[in-house]
A and B are shown apart, each in its own frame.
Chain A
Amino acid sequence: MDKFLKKEGTASFLSAVAAVIMGLLVGLIVLLVASPSNALAGFGMILTGGFSDMKNVGQVLYYATPIIMTGLSVAFANKTGLFNIGGAGQYMVGAFAAVYVGVEWTFLPPVLHCIVAMIAAMIAGAIWGLVPGLMKAYCNVNEVISCIMMNYIGLNLVNLLVRQTIFDSARNQSYWPADSAELSKLGFDKIFVAGATPSSVNAGIVLAVIAGIVMYIVIDRTKFGYELKACGLNREAARYAGINEKRSIVLSMVIAGGLAGLGGAFYYLSGAGAGIAITEELAAEGFNGIPVALLGMSNPIGSVFAGIFISYLKVGGQAMQSLGLAPEIIDIITSVIIYFAAFALFFKLMLAKLSAGKQKTNANAEPVSQNAKKGGTA
């Protein structure tokens, strides 16, 4: 048992579980305050809503797809010690690129059309990551600030481009991508179905999981991952080792942006009947990547599960509408749970402290540096 507790992976998992339980308890309290009579029934729905029928299971995976991608995006940048808060902008420009290709380039044959749309989304997202990356590497501009700026530039640029190119004035949003650009259902519409209504889940979730696995391999097994992590953990030592730390920073942001952009493509190419709406709000899927990455401890596989968990809460929350609770209350409750869930790192530190009392510690060990702590919480 001691050995089990000591393992890094186990500690991460346990603390994530502890954080989730805390979050759920606080969510219950909020629910009790907001609507005492419906509280327990509502709470039950949050917990079970995602499993209530096969369609909802499908919906969980469907909503999870984009936030897994933005979560991977945040997690990837974090490995190089960067905080990619630009997921919303990268996601939106990626979405626009995918929808534009989906609407306009109908000369492409079905599968190829979809692939080209996804590549376009990745490139657009990557460019949105490239700019903060370059500014960080060569001008030492804090990536948080430039990412936030890029979010607004991306949002307004997408609004403008949608209006000028692929605007459907009847729906006040962009046209929907052509059928040929849609992601394949892979037969999921036969499995995840309730009555006659299938869920919107599609090949996107499979691709997102593959992205997570590929990222895990890149980070953990390759020379490239070694360099990125070295830069994230100790930039000076990376320089000393001859690693081009500027290149690593830029590449890390480019890849992070590409992942988020691809998330945008997955959402809008799902064939669920969605166009890009003209809006003044930054895409929530972009920001939800942050709690996903935090809850997943910046581990790619962890982020996949965290994305599914957060999506599960969302579907459970939607089920609560049948109780007549205002959607805002549902949002508050799910947010509270996510908020607490993001404390996973805090619980991990607590666990470490608890076990440090028992385990052997080296009196000569170096204290945990400020930098390492930041890398985790950022």
Chain B
Amino acid sequence: MSEYVIEMCNITKEFPGIIANDNITLQLRKGEIHALLGENGAGKSTLMSVLFGMYQPEKGVIKKDGQPVQIKGPNDANRLGIGMVHQHFKLVHNFTVLENIILGVETVKGGLLKMDDARKKVMELSEKYGLLVDPDALIEDITVGMQQRVEILKMLYRENEILIFDEPTAVLTPQEIDELMNIMKGLVKEGKSILFITHKLNEIKAVADRCTVLRKGKYIGTVNVCDVTQQEMSEMMVGRKVNLKVDKEPAQPTDVLLEVKNLSVHSKHGTKNAVNNVSFQVRKGEIVCLAGIDGNGQSELVYALAGLEKSEGTVILSGEDISTESIRYRNTHGLGHIPEDRHRHGLVLDYPLAYNMVLQRYFEPKFCNKGFLRYDEIFSYSDKLIEQYDVRSGQGSKTIARSMSGGNQQKAIVAREIDRDPDLLIAVQPTRGLDVGAIEYIHKELIAQRDAGKGILLVSLELDEVMNLSDRILVMFEGEIVADLDPNAVTVQELGLYMAGAKREEV
């Protein structure tokens, strides 16, 4: 019997022009939590796709309990007992918890579902592993943390032995993260083996036994987590020294730049307001962060400020009431917006990069003469931004945005918005999908904007980012601002309580 339940030995997977996995070895011991650490584009997803048979590697073997196996597709992987909790849950929202768990592996008798057996099994499992869920609740009615438990139960119901968690903490509150960590520890105690994909070093420190680090498709090494510091792990991941803490001077806020009074946005679903009677200010020279769990009205609030969604209430920018002004007017009068969803709002994916770089400026005399676009100007401007912000793409300004990697798409948007030099920059998750180096760069850039007297409204789900970058934290819960906090005077745990609605202050 081999020491390892699953081994991926010397895996090489090439895509034309790119070696996504270059001779990577990953060995998962029975009963351990093994972290897979790497930046975006390091090859983590490719490696997992190989494990699930979505890609066939050019070189290398996969062994289960020491025996080489062929994995030709997800069904093979499932048969070998490998299961995965995806970053974006794969659940049917109008089905109950129980129905979701048995989906695809229903036990039937004469064409009818045998729900009672399934229910019994699910209840047993949930008790055994401390995964308390209501089997009859609809998925759409339960919290994200609960949904994740359903995903875990799905794997357990299928009697998977090897559980893969793909960035499982991205959508959770600090309290829920703690609970998840406990669940993971409980699972390995019962003999399961866990592969934990993440780029959050403190979580690795907290639960993982060993950690395999990938960088740019290459295998860097496997370490015992207890033997290394977070700093050392981050250096392995990035390949150089990185500053985990953002350096910044205390803010010197001056005049009020943005004033929001009694802003409400109707919800698309149901009768409740997505944003309910919110008032706040952003002053010049400060970074105000809107923290909160995804879906508590931050997106709607930003859409309302940008004019993308109808709202009630008053929005005053630089002393001017812009509540009823058009999107174009706001864009050209000092509002910049790094949108949450770069594919939906930020880019016209089938346009070349150069066209995307002038998305809000193409009509300016610099880029447009008597109704005709000035190609030379547009492309040379785009080339300048590409150079200055290190946006990488196959064919420079001519590259179709769709063919670029997510991180570079994001960089292009950040470059465009900062270069427009807005008075108020609304940055929604500006570093999502970026590697540590680029995150560092964008953080510095945001601070530079702040120090130049601009106001920044940052919306972020990453608590590290919230704590590091902001000068003031506004916590949103169920469409309302429930706290106005000083990041230096609040702990992450406390912040988590506000985010979960367990605590609120009068603001």
Q: Do A and B come from one complex?
A: yes
Q: Which residues of A come within 8 Å of B, CB atoms?
A: 221-224, 226, 229-230, 233-234, 236-244, 358-366, 368-369, 372
- The answer to whether B371 touches A237 (Cβ under 8 A) is no
- The answer to whether B345 touches A242 (Cβ under 8 A) is no
Q: Which 5 A-B pairs have the closest CB atoms?
A: A242-B328, A360-B17, A364-B405, A360-B16, A240-B345
Is B20 at the interface (CB under 8 A from chain A)?
A: yes
Q: Give residues of chain B (304-355) contacting chain A, Cβ–Cβ below 8 Å.
A: 306, 308, 326-332, 337, 339, 343-351, 355
Q: Which residues of B come within 8 Å of A, CB atoms?
A: 15-18, 20, 41, 46, 306, 308, 326-332, 337, 339, 343-351, 355, 359-360, 362-363, 368, 371-373, 394, 402-407
- Bound-complex Cα distance A361 to B429 (A): 28
- The answer to whether B371 touches A233 (Cβ under 8 A) is no
Minimum CB–CB distance for B41 against chain A, Å: 6
Given contact pairs A223-B372, A241-B331, A244-B328, a sample of 11 additional A-B residue pairs in the complex whose CB atoms are under 8 Å apart: A229-B348, A230-B351, A233-B348, A238-B348, A240-B345, A242-B327, A358-B16, A362-B394, A362-B403, A363-B46, A366-B403
- The answer to whether A363 touches B18 (Cβ under 8 A) is yes
- The answer to whether A366 touches B20 (Cβ under 8 A) is no
- Bound-complex Cα distance A363 to B308 (A): 32
Smallest CB-CB separation from A368: which chain B residue?
A: B402
- Picked from B346, B355, B359, B403, the residue with its CB within 8 Å of the CB of A365 is B403
- Picked from A224, A230, A240, A368, the residue with its CB within 8 Å of the CB of B371 is A224
Q: Which residues of B contact A244 (CB under 8 A)?
A: 326, 328
Tell me whether A241 and B16 are in contact in the complex, defined as CB-CB below 8 angstroms, given that A233-B350, A366-B402 are known contacts. no
Minimum CB–CB distance for A299 against chain B, Å: 15
Minimum CB–CB distance for B192 against chain A, Å: 30
Tell me whether A240 and B339 are in contact in the complex, defined as CB-CB below 8 angstroms, given that A226-B362, A360-B16, A365-B404 are known contacts. yes
Give 14 CB contacts A-B under 8 Å. A223-B371, A223-B372, A230-B348, A233-B351, A236-B344, A237-B348, A242-B327, A242-B360, A244-B328, A361-B16, A362-B404, A363-B18, A372-B349, A372-B350
- Bound-complex Cα distance A366 to B349 (A): 9
Q: Which residues of A contact B404 (CB under 8 A)?
A: 362, 364-365
Tell me whether A240 and B346 are in contact in the complex, defined as CB-CB below 8 angstroms, given that A223-B368, A230-B351 are known contacts. yes
- The answer to whether A226 touches B355 (Cβ under 8 A) is yes
Q: Which residues of B contact A369 (CB under 8 A)?
A: 343, 349
- Picked from A223, A362, A368, the residue with its CB within 8 Å of the CB of B18 is A362
- Bound-complex Cα distance A365 to B402 (A): 6
Minimum CB–CB distance for B492 against chain A, Å: 32
- The answer to whether A363 touches B331 (Cβ under 8 A) is no
- The answer to whether A359 touches B351 (Cβ under 8 A) is no
Tell me whether A222 and B349 are in contact in the complex, defined as CB-CB below 8 angstroms, given that A242-B326, A368-B402 are known contacts. no
Smallest CB-CB separation from A364: which chain B residue?
A: B405
- The answer to whether A233 touches B403 (Cβ under 8 A) is no
Q: Which residues of B contact A372 (CB under 8 A)?
A: 349-350
Q: Which residues of A contact B330 (CB under 8 A)?
A: 242
Residue of A224, A240, A241, A362 ringed by the most chain B CB atoms within 10 A = A240
Minimum CB–CB distance for B158 against chain A, Å: 27
Q: Which residues of A contact B46 (CB under 8 A)?
A: 363
Q: Which residues of B contact A358 (CB under 8 A)?
A: 16
- The answer to whether A236 touches B362 (Cβ under 8 A) is no
Smallest CB-CB separation from B405: which chain A residue?
A: A364
Tell me whether A223 and B308 are in contact in the complex, defined as CB-CB below 8 angstroms, given that A364-B405, A366-B349 are known contacts. no
Minimum CB–CB distance for A263 against chain B, Å: 25
- The answer to whether B351 touches A223 (Cβ under 8 A) is no
Q: Which residues of A contact B306 (CB under 8 A)?
A: 240
Residue of A229, A233, A234, A368 ringed by the most chain B CB atoms within 10 A = A234
Tell me whether A239 and B343 are in contact in the complex, defined as CB-CB below 8 angstroms, given that A233-B349, A360-B16, A364-B405 are known contacts. no
Q: Which residues of A contact B346 (CB under 8 A)?
A: 237, 240
Minimum CB–CB distance for A189 against chain B, Å: 38
Q: Which residues of A contact B327 (CB under 8 A)?
A: 239-242
Q: Which residues of B contact A364 (CB under 8 A)?
A: 41, 404-407
- Bound-complex Cα distance A375 to B372 (A): 25
Q: Which residues of B contact A230 (CB under 8 A)?
A: 348, 351, 359
Smallest CB-CB separation from A240: which chain B residue?
A: B345
Tell me whether A236 and B15 are in contact in the complex, defined as CB-CB below 8 angstroms, given that A226-B362, A230-B351, A364-B406 are known contacts. no
- The answer to whether A239 touches B348 (Cβ under 8 A) is no
Q: Which residues of A contact B355 (CB under 8 A)?
A: 226
Smallest CB-CB separation from A241: which chain B residue?
A: B359
- Bound-complex Cα distance A361 to B349 (A): 16
- The answer to whether B373 touches A226 (Cβ under 8 A) is yes
- Picked from A221, A241, A365, A366, the residue with its CB within 8 Å of the CB of B372 is A221
- The answer to whether A366 touches B343 (Cβ under 8 A) is yes
- Picked from B18, B349, B360, B407, the residue with its CB within 8 Å of the CB of A241 is B360
Minimum CB–CB distance for A196 against chain B, Å: 48
Minimum CB–CB distance for B118 against chain A, Å: 34
- The answer to whether A359 touches B16 (Cβ under 8 A) is yes
Q: Which residues of A contact B20 (CB under 8 A)?
A: 363
Q: Which residues of B contact A224 (CB under 8 A)?
A: 371
- Bound-complex Cα distance A223 to B355 (A): 11
Tell me whether A221 and B373 are in contact in the complex, defined as CB-CB below 8 angstroms, given that A361-B15, A363-B18 are known contacts. yes
Minimum CB–CB distance for B398 against chain A, Å: 11
Minimum CB–CB distance for A80 against chain B, Å: 13
Q: Which residues of A contact B18 (CB under 8 A)?
A: 360, 362-363
Q: Which residues of A contact B339 (CB under 8 A)?
A: 240
- Bound-complex Cα distance A364 to B406 (A): 7
- Bound-complex Cα distance A359 to B18 (A): 12
- The answer to whether B17 touches A222 (Cβ under 8 A) is no
- The answer to whether A234 touches B348 (Cβ under 8 A) is yes
Tell me whether A242 and B347 are in contact in the complex, defined as CB-CB below 8 angstroms, given that A221-B373, A359-B16, A363-B46 are known contacts. no
Minimum CB–CB distance for B22 against chain A, Å: 13
- Bound-complex Cα distance A364 to B405 (A): 5
- Bound-complex Cα distance A369 to B348 (A): 11
- The answer to whether B362 touches A223 (Cβ under 8 A) is yes
Q: Which residues of B contact A366 (CB under 8 A)?
A: 343, 349, 402-403, 406
Minimum CB–CB distance for A357 against chain B, Å: 9
Minimum CB–CB distance for A281 against chain B, Å: 38
Q: Which residues of A contact B406 (CB under 8 A)?
A: 364, 366
- Bound-complex Cα distance A243 to B326 (A): 10
Smallest CB-CB separation from B393: which chain A residue?
A: A362
- Picked from B15, B328, B402, the residue with its CB within 8 Å of the CB of A363 is B15
Minimum CB–CB distance for B52 against chain A, Å: 16
Q: Which residues of B contact A222 (CB under 8 A)?
A: 371-373
- Bound-complex Cα distance A259 to B418 (A): 42
Q: Which residues of B contact A240 (CB under 8 A)?
A: 306, 308, 327, 337, 339, 345-346, 359
- Bound-complex Cα distance A321 to B250 (A): 89
- The answer to whether A236 touches B345 (Cβ under 8 A) is yes
Q: Which residues of B contact A233 (CB under 8 A)?
A: 348-351
- Bound-complex Cα distance A365 to B18 (A): 12
- The answer to whether B332 touches A242 (Cβ under 8 A) is yes
Q: Which residues of A contact B326 (CB under 8 A)?
A: 242, 244
Q: Which residues of B contact A361 (CB under 8 A)?
A: 15-17
Q: Which residues of B contact A239 (CB under 8 A)?
A: 308, 327, 345
- Bound-complex Cα distance A229 to B404 (A): 20
Minimum CB–CB distance for A248 against chain B, Å: 13
- Bound-complex Cα distance A372 to B331 (A): 27
Minimum CB–CB distance for A361 against chain B, Å: 6
Q: Which residues of A contact B17 (CB under 8 A)?
A: 360-362
- Bound-complex Cα distance A230 to B331 (A): 17
Smallest CB-CB separation from A220: which chain B residue?
A: B373
